Structure 1
Amino acid sequence: MKKLCFIAGCLSCSGGAFANIEKITVYGHRTGLIGESISASSGIIGQGEIENRPMLRSTELLELIPGMAVTQHSGSGKANQYFIRGFNLDHGTDFSTNIDGMPINMRSHGHGQGYTDLNFIIPETIATVSYQKGSYDAKQGDFSTAGSAYFHLTDNPKHQQLDFTIGEDNYLRAVALGSIPLGNSKLIGATEWQGYDGPWQDIKESVNKKNALLRFVNESKHGNLSISAMAYDNTWNSADQIPQRAVDQGIISSLGSLDTTLGGSSSRYSLSANWQNEHLTANAYVIDYKLNLYSNFSYFLNDPVNGDQFNQRDNRTVSGGAISYQFSDVLGSILLNHDVGVELRNDNIDNVGLYNTQSRNYLSTVREDRVDETSYAAYWQTQLTMSPQLEATVGVRYDYIDASVNSDNHLNSGDANDDLLGFKASLTYLFNENVAGYANWGQSFHSNDARGATIQQDPVTLAATDTVDLLVKSNGAELGMRYFDEKHFNFSAALWWLSLDSELLFVGDAGNTEASDASTRYGLELSAYYWLAETLSLDAEASFTHSRLDIDSQNDRIEGAVPVVASAGVNWHITEQWQTSLRLRHIGKRMLNDDGSQRSEPLTVVNGLVSYQHTHWKVGLELLNLFDSSDHDIDYYYASRLPTEPAEGVEDNHYHPIEPRTLRFNVSLLF
């Protein structure tokens, strides 16, 4: 098993009064960062753990974060559903994601606010994923209410490799990764292609996913420069969520579809540059993004003749950058490390549209908009090292967003702007070299869809409607501790609390989210990692959450909230060459309506992997959904209508099943 090293104690004290640095060796791939984390709920995930985690979809990378659950209610080309800290994040709202300095969450998106599609990421090109649950760092901005994750592209691939995977249901995947030295520089290239038909009875997913990365890296005594070009293109068909009654009545099977013409296409092309030296960090990026998505969640409820299929489009250019400056000084015996920065982002959305369709043929326009949305941010954060044991961090962040909407209905056109000042504070105390305690408090926010901030008339009913605030504030706090034994045991626990000024809830027949009441959540998170030997490790993680709307009513449940998320795993290096991994994931009963009368069944799935690695080649076998569970990936409760049903439709549970047991075989050539 690989050994990772990090610095315990006051890493920031490298040049100050408390330069007493102790080195600790961590067995495994997940590091706890004793004393360095701003929270008990933060950490770093390395390529080793990514490589050895059995995954049905590469977009399940975020599930490496303790307490995060990732599911899917549609086709393989669509952003996943995410759950963390009692949030049904839908496709990404309230959890911020970033890769190589570029934001992944999409504002005012055609399918959902904060839309987070990870299909463009090639897992083999990721060096680390650093995560922070909660929002206690001044660098965390929009969508970071429940936390954030940062994907870091590799500068030093462990191997040059050719990778081939085949599996059931015509699963095919090929990856090539290599690098070329150019003096003090390096050129890294990677490509990925994936095809997949899926296990569905009425459709073939016909996934055709293509990814490419070209990265230039230069390291010198003056600083480090990286320039990255990324390309992604995908087409697919979708087996969307289905009503329980259609299965019970024998109309379709649990792997069937009521509308076999769903699916879509998406692309993402980007160019980014990053520069870093001892004091200065800067980045700039430009992203060209498109989505063309066909869905049908209510079947014949709104249009008994043509059906309720709709098309959502999003065509935009995202550009921006950030610059920060780090410096230190001393106040008496207190070492101060400052981090001050500014950020800029512009979403120039040429078209974000919603259309009525039948079998992917255009029928009518519900609404069509052009949106220009620009955000500006500035922050200052100071870390105060008061002793080798005690460290505090205080920060302030200011965000301003300005949006302009040009709608096909002039009543819904207009301008909106909003700003927010947020404060952060954290305290870390090292009781000894093995135990650290944390106390954190922070304010954060998510932005709302700009169209909701300018709307005056409902595009369907033509009734007058209220606008929403462009920015929605949150307050959160955490008490935590982490215990670390040098060779055997790593344990962390956190009690947390979070309030949000306005909840975003999923609307079934519209396929998007709308603003709702304020909410409060609190919970307990536990993580434990035990190394029985250098070759055998166990891990277990559990998150327990209580979630409610802040209203004086029995109907105060938050739809989609998850009370329990748990996972466990065993990693065993049987010999130098043989390795096995067994993973269990559990998602508790999700709340499906606001009075708590409807809940989903829990989801439990087990995945396994076994691999053999020689010097220049590696073979692996993945067994996904080992026990062939028929649990549901996702559940919603809302009204829909089948052709023979009453005009008002039927309230029912709508679900997407997890995929049946499947086997995949992998061969890698390593150079």
Structure 2
Amino acid sequence: MPLKPTLLFLIVPFTLAAQDVVELDTVNIEGRGSLLVGEALSASQGVIGQIDLQTRPMLRTGEILEAVPGMIVTQHSGTGKANQYFLRGFNLDHGTDFATSIDGMPVNMVSHGHGQGYTDLNFIIPELVDNISYLKGSYYSEVGDFSSAGSASIQTMRELDKDMVSVDYGEDGYLRVFGAASQSVGDGTLLFGAENVVNNGPWDIDENLNKINGMVTYSAAPREDLEYGVTLMAYDSSWDSADQIPDRAVQQNLITPFGSIDDTVGGSSSRYSLSGNVIKNGAENTTKLSAYTIYYDMALWSNFTYFLDNPVEGDQFQQSDRRTIYGAELAHSMKHAHLFGYHMQQTFGLQTRYDAVDKVGLYNTQARQILSTNREDSVDEYSLSAYYDAALSWSEKFKTNFGARIDYFNFDVESDFAPNSGSASDTLFSPKFNAIYTPTDDTELYFSAGYGFHSNDARGATISIDPSDRVTPVESVDLLVQSLGYELGIRHHWTERSNTSVALWTLDLDSELLYVGDAGNTEASRPSERVGIEFANYFVLTDELSLDLDAAFTDASYSDVSPDGDEIPGSIDSVLSLGLNYNAPSSPWFGSARYRYFSDRPLIEDGSETSDSFGSVNLKVGYKNDDWRISLDLLNTFDTKDSDITYFYGSRLPGEPAGGIEDKHYHIIQPRSLRLNVTKLF
């Protein structure tokens, strides 16, 4: 994309008179009710605390991200697979264009076996999440790949108020056992927690989910301005899947809405990580160093077209991924620098990541047995990034933030089919700018602009021949794809814990990454443009009641001209989330009622096929004292029959014509279910 004018990033009002530096009080961040005026760079920035998560009735772990205003989290396959995410008019598939990290470690997977940016959150234990910091838009220098729509940084706990043992029991064979404890060891705190989840689900086939999670962390208390911590995480899971199904099979009574065409699909996945950080705090400077290593593997069996390509043995395929990831980040902040007499805070950062992908493969299978190899590759993908951030206080009411990052990617692909092997590299420069005006102590106005990007699968950047027939020429894609976003916003705090933010934004993307339902992966597609408005509200109504109300409206379309049409398949134009929470300090009772809605969406480019809209309600009611906490979750309270996901493509059932039939394929929401939680506190 030709570089659009960037002078606006550099324009600053040097004629303003110098002002004395105003020191802001320290703010202890707890959650959405926290005061962010004076702290945030945009209206699309916020923090979700454990206090926000613990009262939310949730069906899946990944739904912790639904606390991000405007985010929708669903599923089109087995519970052990990464969720589907929707935000700002994007069908983010399993994470593309939304960057997620935990304790400084990236969660998104580059050049992944199932899809670029694959974000599997199943290894996270919700009770051990301390907070989630989210940044929507491409205006922040510290985040890079996959962050065009936004990012979320998850921080885990370092100490518990009380140790706990918890048991969840629900319908359809659901059982979860969780325990966590922390204690002082030497100069620091040792925290450990573990969970085991088994579940058969409501499907006509048993899901046979078996998930084991564990986390151990040691964090040293600040000592002579030095603090450090180290964390070990372990996750292993296996499951059978009830995947998306063709609508005609239900209409013809071949299966129920909870049935399957291929009952041998499913998957397994493991993730083991070791991470650590060291922070040196000084009166003038802060230096942070973090590093991590991750071992990850996955095997996923899917069949979305049934007998379209192979009428005898079926179209089932296996996607495999096995890799080790190494990475580090160094950031140095100078708190009290000056420029032309104005107070300035500066941050310099370096980030590096190396994915040693031992095997990423695609195989034709039947009942999980390999029949033939479509392609099998090893990939070495390395990135090195540098960023700079400068915050200038021009007066008590006006400040600017200029940032920039440069990202270098280098990769090498060794394919089992030599013409698809290769090496390449690319570099991208991304300037950012934020202006913040504070007319009153409880109101801020924002202007934000910035370039972002996502990387494409390294295999797509070296491919020359279609691996399925090893004859047909294929055009490669760019390794790095740029985006440009702008935003106007306002944030107002009605009281210390009640606030409203509004953001009017736009985003242009050079190449959409589109999920292909019949292939089960993502492909580079056409350029796109989006414009939208978001409203995020949090109100403390009384000492007992709080209300959060979020709404987002987006217009998304391809920006080029094509006879296929300009609709982006899967793009949602309306999202609504409403939560009413009861948590009285003087009462042992607590509860929550949550409603979420997302609109219908186009399924193909000309808009002639669309999905239905979706709406559901979840309820929680509970009782607590110093030693016990007991709660009931009623999920999908009104037993809606809406679909989590819908695609439109061709598939073939036994006895159908050789060319198959174009049809809607969907995955229904789980029916109404009741779950009981009993937690003992020590």
TM-score of Structure 1 vs Structure 2, range by shorter chain? over 0.9
Q: Give the counterpart of 1:142 among 142, 145, 149.
A: 145
Checking the alignment, whether the CA contact within 8 Å between 1:157 and 1:179 is kept in structure 2 is yes
Could you tell me how far apart the structure 2 residues matched to 1:268 and 1:649 are? 38
Are 1:85 and 2:93 matched, yes or no?
no
Checking the alignment, whether the CA contact within 8 Å between 1:67 and 1:566 is kept in structure 2 is yes
Are 1:632 and 2:635 matched, yes or no?
no
AA in 2 matched with 1:572: Y
Which residue pairs with 1:319 in the alignment?
A: 326
Q: Give the counterpart of 2:599 among 573, 578, 588.
A: 588
Kindly state the Cα deviation for residue 611 of structure 1 after the two structures are TM-superposed.
1.0
Checking the alignment, whether the CA contact within 8 Å between 2:30 and 2:50 is kept in structure 1 is no
Q: Give the counterpart of 1:559 among 565, 569, 575.
A: 569
Which residue pairs with 1:178 in the alignment?
A: 181
Could you tell me how far apart the structure 2 residues matched to 1:525 and 1:478 are? 11
Q: Give the counterpart of 2:36 among 33, 37, 44.
A: 33
Q: Give the counterpart of 1:207 among 185, 209, 217.
A: 209
Could you tell me how far apart the structure 2 residues matched to 1:476 and 1:268 are? 34
Checking the alignment, whether the CA contact within 8 Å between 2:31 and 2:49 is kept in structure 1 is no
Could you tell me how far apart the structure 1 residues matched to 2:67 and 2:434 are? 25
The count of residues paired between Structure 1 and Structure 2 equals 655
Are 1:334 and 2:342 matched, yes or no?
yes
Structural RMSD (CA): 1.4
Q: Give the counterpart of 1:249 among 252, 259, 274.
A: 252
- Alpha carbons of 1:578 and 1:397: their partners in 2 closer, same or farther (altered >3 Å)? same
- Alpha carbons of 1:75 and 1:417: their partners in 2 closer, same or farther (altered >3 Å)? same
Could you tell me how far apart the structure 1 residues matched to 2:622 and 2:161 are? 17
Alignment of 1:253-652 (within 5 A): 253-278=256-281, 279-327=286-334, 328-461=336-469, 462-487=471-496, 489-553=498-562, 555-573=565-583, 575-652=586-663
Checking the alignment, whether the CA contact within 8 Å between 1:341 and 1:380 is kept in structure 2 is yes
Map Cα deviations across residues 182-229 of structure 1 (whole Å, 9 max, x no partner). Answer: 23211110001000000001x111110000001010022231101000
Which residue pairs with 1:668 in the alignment?
A: 679
Checking the alignment, whether the CA contact within 8 Å between 2:619 and 2:633 is kept in structure 1 is yes
Could you tell me how far apart the structure 2 residues matched to 1:381 and 1:448 are? 26
Are 1:193 and 2:193 matched, yes or no?
no
Could you tell me how far apart the structure 1 residues matched to 2:72 and 2:611 are? 15
Give the secondary-structure state (helix, strand or coil) at the position aligned to 1:627: coil
Checking the alignment, whether the CA contact within 8 Å between 1:488 and 1:532 is kept in structure 2 is no
Q: Percent identity of the aligned residues?
A: 48
Which residue pairs with 1:7 in the alignment?
A: none
Give the secondary-structure state (helix, strand or coil) at the position aligned to 2:665: strand
Could you tell me how far apart the structure 1 residues matched to 2:415 and 2:566 are? 34
Checking the alignment, whether the CA contact within 8 Å between 2:465 and 2:472 is kept in structure 1 is yes
Could you tell me how far apart the structure 1 residues matched to 2:468 and 2:28 are? 61
Checking the alignment, whether the CA contact within 8 Å between 1:25 and 1:486 is kept in structure 2 is no
Kindly state the Cα deviation for residue 535 of structure 1 after the two structures are TM-superposed.
0.8
Could you tell me how far apart the structure 2 residues matched to 1:568 and 1:651 are? 36
Checking the alignment, whether the CA contact within 8 Å between 1:39 and 1:439 is kept in structure 2 is yes
Could you tell me how far apart the structure 1 residues matched to 2:31 and 2:481 are? 39
Which residue pairs with 2:11 in the alignment?
A: none
Could you tell me how far apart the structure 1 residues matched to 2:320 and 2:484 are? 33
Could you tell me how far apart the structure 1 residues matched to 2:481 and 2:573 are? 23
Map Cα deviations across residues 598-645 of structure 1 (whole Å, 9 max, x no partner). Answer: 111001010010111111111010000000000000000111111111
Give the secondary-structure state (helix, strand or coil) at the position aligned to 1:277: strand
Could you tell me how far apart the structure 1 residues matched to 2:272 and 2:20 are? 47
Consecutive unaligned residues in structure 1, runs of 5 or more: 1-15
Could you tell me how far apart the structure 1 residues matched to 2:627 and 2:252 are? 54
State the TM-score, normalized to the length of structure 1: 0.96
Could you tell me how far apart the structure 1 residues matched to 2:57 and 2:346 are? 40
Which residue pairs with 1:12 in the alignment?
A: none
Kindly state the Cα deviation for residue 381 of structure 1 after the two structures are TM-superposed.
0.7
- Alpha carbons of 1:101 and 1:487: their partners in 2 closer, same or farther (altered >3 Å)? closer
Are 1:166 and 2:169 matched, yes or no?
yes
- Alpha carbons of 1:454 and 1:296: their partners in 2 closer, same or farther (altered >3 Å)? same
Could you tell me how far apart the structure 2 residues matched to 1:433 and 1:533 are? 23
Kindly state the Cα deviation for residue 148 of structure 1 after the two structures are TM-superposed.
0.3
Give the secondary-structure state (helix, strand or coil) at the position aligned to 1:145: coil
Could you tell me how far apart the structure 2 residues matched to 1:362 and 1:573 are? 53
Kindly state the Cα deviation for residue 283 of structure 1 after the two structures are TM-superposed.
0.5
Which residue pairs with 1:218 in the alignment?
A: 220
- Alpha carbons of 1:329 and 1:636: their partners in 2 closer, same or farther (altered >3 Å)? same
Checking the alignment, whether the CA contact within 8 Å between 2:448 and 2:486 is kept in structure 1 is yes
AA in 2 matched with 1:479: L
Which residue pairs with 2:664 in the alignment?
A: 653
Kindly state the Cα deviation for residue 18 of structure 1 after the two structures are TM-superposed.
2.4
Which residue pairs with 1:10 in the alignment?
A: none
Which residue pairs with 1:11 in the alignment?
A: none
AA in 1 matched with 2:226: G
Could you tell me how far apart the structure 1 residues matched to 2:153 and 2:44 are? 15
AA in 2 matched with 1:318: I
Kindly state the Cα deviation for residue 27 of structure 1 after the two structures are TM-superposed.
9.4
AA in 2 matched with 1:558: I
Could you tell me how far apart the structure 2 residues matched to 1:26 and 1:380 are? 25
Map Cα deviations across residues 357-414 of structure 1 (whole Å, 9 max, x no partner). Answer: 0111110000000000000000111000111211110011000000100000000001
Give the secondary-structure state (helix, strand or coil) at the position aligned to 2:307: coil
Could you tell me how far apart the structure 2 residues matched to 1:74 and 1:356 are? 19
Which residue pairs with 2:233 in the alignment?
A: 230
Could you tell me how far apart the structure 1 residues matched to 2:525 and 2:29 are? 44
Give the secondary-structure state (helix, strand or coil) at the position aligned to 2:541: strand
Kindly state the Cα deviation for residue 532 of structure 1 after the two structures are TM-superposed.
1.4
Alignment of 1:59-70 (within 5 A): 59-70=62-73
After superposing the two structures, state which structure 1 stretch, 488-497 or 587-596, moved more.
488-497
Checking the alignment, whether the CA contact within 8 Å between 1:32 and 1:42 is kept in structure 2 is no
Could you tell me how far apart the structure 2 residues matched to 1:256 and 1:655 are? 11
Kindly state the Cα deviation for residue 159 of structure 1 after the two structures are TM-superposed.
1.9
AA in 2 matched with 1:291: M
Kindly state the Cα deviation for residue 53 of structure 1 after the two structures are TM-superposed.
0.6
Could you tell me how far apart the structure 2 residues matched to 1:505 and 1:205 are? 28
Kindly state the Cα deviation for residue 510 of structure 1 after the two structures are TM-superposed.
1.4
Could you tell me how far apart the structure 1 residues matched to 2:356 and 2:31 are? 43
Could you tell me how far apart the structure 2 residues matched to 1:666 and 1:192 are? 14
Checking the alignment, whether the CA contact within 8 Å between 2:31 and 2:131 is kept in structure 1 is no
AA in 2 matched with 1:567: S
Could you tell me how far apart the structure 2 residues matched to 1:124 and 1:508 are? 34
Checking the alignment, whether the CA contact within 8 Å between 2:27 and 2:35 is kept in structure 1 is no
Consecutive unaligned residues in structure 2, runs of 5 or more: 1-18
Give the secondary-structure state (helix, strand or coil) at the position aligned to 2:53: helix
- Alpha carbons of 1:213 and 1:433: their partners in 2 closer, same or farther (altered >3 Å)? same
Checking the alignment, whether the CA contact within 8 Å between 1:638 and 1:653 is kept in structure 2 is yes
Kindly state the Cα deviation for residue 573 of structure 1 after the two structures are TM-superposed.
2.5
Kindly state the Cα deviation for residue 489 of structure 1 after the two structures are TM-superposed.
3.3
